[in-house]
Structure 1
Amino acid sequence: MKILLVEDEPALRSTLIEALRQGGYVVEVAADFAQAYEKIKLYRYDCVLLDL
């Protein structure tokens, strides 16, 4: 499963990336909405996890 993680806090982002990858997920990261939007236009994801 390919996941896009949108998280602006570096420490939390790193923790989530590590946990998701250990769970067998393919994780791509965006630090903000602009980065996430560009990635979503180019790639398909099974899930988007975002920080509101």
Structure 2
Amino acid sequence: MKILLIEDGKQLANSIQSYLSGNDFIFEWVSNIHLALDKISVYEYDCVLLDLIVSDGNGFGILNNLKKMI
């Protein structure tokens, strides 16, 4: 399963990554909306874990973009 984590908190992201990596998931992490939108436009993910309050904007914007892509 390929997972994208969108989280601006480095410590929390590392903790989540550590847990998920130990369970044979393919895991990618980005810390801002710009990078998230770039990744989502290029790769297919089975799951996106989204922080709704990201330092460079609102996570709901990413959610709206995801809805348009489906």
- Following superposition, the deviation at residue 43 of structure 1 comes to 0.5
Q: Which has the higher contact order (CA 8 A, sep 6+)?
A: 1
> What is the alpha-carbon root mean square deviation over aligned residues?
0.6
Determine helix, strand or coil for the equivalent of 2:14: helix
Runs of 4+ aligned residues of structure 1 deviating over 3 Å after TM superposition are none
- Structure whose alpha-carbon radius of gyration is higher: 2
The number of equivalent residue pairs is 52
Counterpart in the other structure of 2:29: 29
- Following superposition, the deviation at residue 32 of structure 1 comes to 1.1
Q: Which runs of 5+ in 2 are unaligned?
A: 53-70
Instruction: Report sequence identity in percent.
Output: 42
- Following superposition, the deviation at residue 21 of structure 1 comes to 0.5
Q: Which runs of 5+ in 1 are unaligned?
A: none
TM score, norm. by length of structure 2:
0.71
